[in-house]
Amino acid sequence: MSDLLVVVGSVTSATRLAKRLAKYGDTKARVINTPEKLGGSGCSYSVSADLSSEAFIRNNLQGISIKKIYIEEIVGKERYYHDIS
């Protein structure tokens, strides 16, 4: 199973992006705390969304600043993150 993980700068950005995806992107998105291994300087927020929403995300930012985009790959109990920014 794979999902997109979009790391943003603030919870406000995350909330806006999730709302935009739900409203216009026809896909469910969830705001989560960024996994520690991707967090960099500490706590941050990300949006977890379906893989198919990548194009929508890249084309409909409307001022939302994105730090990184990963594909999250879950193999057994392990989670791997592939940077596609």
Partner 1 sequence: MIYLDNPATSMKKPSVVIDAMCKNTLNCSVNAGRGGHWASLRGAEGISDTQEVLADFFNIPNPERIAFTQNATYALNMAIAGILTRKDHAVITSMEHNSVLRPVHRQCSYTIVEADRQGVITPADIERAIRPNTKLVITTHASNVCGTIIPIYEIGQICRKYGIPYLVDSAQTAGIIHIDTEKMNISLLAFSGHKGLMGPLGTGGLYVREGIRINPLIVGGTGTESKNKNQPETMPDMLHSGTLNTPAIMALGAAVRYIKDIGIEKIDEKERRLAEELYEKLSNIDGVTVYGLANGSRNGTVAFNIDNIDSQETADILNRDYGIAVRGGYHCSYIAHQTIGSDKSGAVRAGFGLYSTRHELEELVNAVNKISKNTR
Residues that bind partner 1 (CB under 8 A): 9-16, 19, 31-33, 40-45, 62-65
Min dist CB 6 to partner 1, Å, is 14
Cα dihedral across residues 6, 8, 13, 14: positive or negative: positive
CB 83 to partner 1: min, Å: 19
Hey, CA dihedral for 51, 72, 84, 40, is it positive or negative? positive
CB atoms within 10 A of CB 45: 21
41 or 76: whose CB is closer to partner 1?
41
Nearer to partner 1, 64 or 69 (CB): 64
